[in-house]
Amino acid sequence: MYAQQLVAPRTFAEVQAPRLGSDHLADGEVLLRVLAGAICGSDLPVFNGVRTLKQRDDAVAGHEPGSPMHEVVGEVVASRDERHRVGDLVVGWGSRLNALAELAISLGDDLLGYDDRLSPEHAVMLQPLACVLYAVDQVGDVAGARTAVLGQGPMGLLFNHVLRSSGAREVVGVDLIDRTAIGTRLGAHEVVHQHTSRWASGLSAGERPDVVVEAVGHNTSTLGHALEAAAPSGRVLYFGVPDDAHYPIDMRAMLRKNLTLTSGITLQRRTMLARAGAYLESHPGLRELFVTDTFSVGQAQEAFELAVAPTAETAKITVRMAS
């Protein structure tokens, strides 16, 4: 089967990998013919050669064919999960993190059918949307709250939209790139073109947000900026996969400001994918706003290069597999 493989940092090559079949499935797994995938921020350190992705307890992924990619839409071609039948179209997590390939294996628990009126390139956004909906649930009620989203990449943009649709009184985006146009189109009331440290240090007492989402990722300092920015009794959400195991936290600020810090992976994935589908049906214009760039699988190199160095108008980058 064909696959893209990292052969060096920031260097993909198309390869022929051993073909997966039904005999490779464990109980609860399904084999997908991949129709589309999307680039997640957690894929970028692997692309850059900074780290690998942990695939299973006994193996490390990162340079095997098809890695890194886990946001996936596919057609079931073999199944050992009774909820998924051959021919079903599904969206969700590519559990082995190597979906940049013709075929990929995933857990049935991580997949759900979707409205087939959606193109695969649009349907794949249901996975990150499910993650954001779950994360906002963990923060709690945001109706009437002043909120801020640090980082206006794809996930930060989705937070803009979900926070505003959930009744936030104010959504402020912050990013080093001038994301004013796309950030406001996707729900922010205001987008600040500034480093998060300068923004946080310049806030007056009345400007401090009740809820701060750290959606920058890939460094330890921005969590500190989120804690600094939050209003007393505020809530801070750290979103995403940390690149480092240990993050310094200003416990004095946490204590004296009575802050709550929340993080975690997305649970109840099939439930959240269903909610994402309902959300997208209620906001049909979101898919065109959010999916800004689609590449063929043979252009994986170009797709990842754009993800590493996005333009001011780049949101979600998807990859269309060969038919």
Domains in the chain: ranges and CATH? 2-124+284-320 (3.90.180.10), 131-262 (3.40.50.720)
Per-residue confidence at 63, pLDDT binned at 50, 70, 90? confident
Q: Which residues contact 82 (CB under 8 A, 6 or more apart)?
A: none
Q: Would you state the pLDDT for residue 270?
A: 98
Query: If you average pLDDT over every residue of the chain, what do you get?
Result: 95
Per-residue confidence at 56, pLDDT binned at 50, 70, 90? very low
Does position 90 have pLDDT exceeding 50, yes or no?
A: yes
Neighbours of 207 (CB within 10 A): 14
What pTM was computed for the model?
0.95
Per-residue confidence at 323, pLDDT binned at 50, 70, 90? low
Percent of the chain whose predicted confidence (pLDDT) is above 70: 96
Least confident of 27-36, 60-69, 185-194: 60-69
What is the Cα–Cα distance from 300 to 294, expressed in whole angstroms? Answer: 10
- Average the pLDDT over 61-78 and give the result: 90
Does position 205 have pLDDT exceeding 90, yes or no?
A: yes
pLDDT tens digit string along 269-309?
999 999 999 999 999 999 999 999 999 999 999 999 999 99
pLDDT tens digit string along 251-271?
999 999 999 999 999 999 999
Judged by DSSP in three states, 299 sits in helix
156, containing H or E segment: helix 154-165
| Residue appearing with tokens 């109706």 | 143
What is the Cα–Cα distance from 297 to 3, expressed in whole angstroms? Answer: 8
Q: Would you state the pLDDT for residue 258?
A: 98
Provide the pairing of β-strand 170-175 with 190-193.
parallel
What is the Cα–Cα distance from 288 to 75, expressed in whole angstroms? Answer: 23
Per-residue confidence at 60, pLDDT binned at 50, 70, 90? very low
| 175: its two tokens | 């990013």
Give the dihedral sign, CA 42/44/50/56. Answer: positive
- Give 3-state DSSP helix, strand, coil % of the chain, rounded to 5: 30, 30, 40
Report CA-CA distances (Å) from 19 to 1, 22, 93, 218, 297: 5, 10, 20, 34, 17
Amino acid at 116: D
